[in-house]
Structure formats: C-alpha cells, structure tokens
C-alpha cells in the first residue's frame, strides 16, 4: 500500500543519518547504503551502522585509504 509509514521509513532513516556529523571533525557525513557506513571525508573515517544504529565512536571507525 502506498502512504504507509513503512514505505517512508528508509527515506526518514536516511534524513536522520544525514543530520549526523563526524565526532572528530564536526563535518558533514555521507551515507554509504551499500556498506552501511557513514563516511567522514575530512577525518578519512567510515563509521559503521549496526542493526540500524550508527556507531559514532572514532575507535570503532574504519580508516579510509
């Protein structure tokens, strides 16, 4: 059915993710849906999203090449 809350959940979740900033640099993050990560280009870190929850800890982030 169109118009159900479920049909809008991914867009809503994406908007929430895009509102987050890097805890190290305070810069905007980009969302990588394929890898389920939030990317900080300024810090060269990728923060994982586990079970729909962004893990915004520098120690948990993956270093980007």
Confidence (pLDDT) at 34: 95
Confidence (pLDDT) at 9: 53
Statement: 23-65 belongs to CATH 2.20.25.10: yes
Write down the residue that tokens 């169109």 correspond to. Answer: 2
Confidence (pLDDT) at 6: 43
Cβ burial 16-50 (10 Å sphere, 16+ → b, else e): ebeeeebeeeeeebebeeeeebbbbeebebbbbbe
Confidence (pLDDT) at 10: 64
Global pTM value: 0.77
Number of H helices, E strands in the chain: 1, 5
Confidence (pLDDT) at 25: 97
- Domain borders along the chain are 23-65
- Which mean pLDDT values do the consecutive 10-residue runs of the chain (65 residues) have? 47 75 95 94 97 94 97
């Amino acid at each position: 059915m169109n118009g159900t809350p479920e049909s809008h959940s991914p867009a809503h979740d994406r908007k929430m993710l895009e509102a987050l900033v890097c805890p190290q640099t305070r810069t905007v993050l980009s969302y990588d849906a394929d890898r389920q990560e939030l990317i900080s280009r300024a810090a060269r870190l990728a923060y994982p999203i586990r079970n729909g929850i962004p893990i915004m800890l520098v120690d948990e982030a993956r270093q980007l090449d």
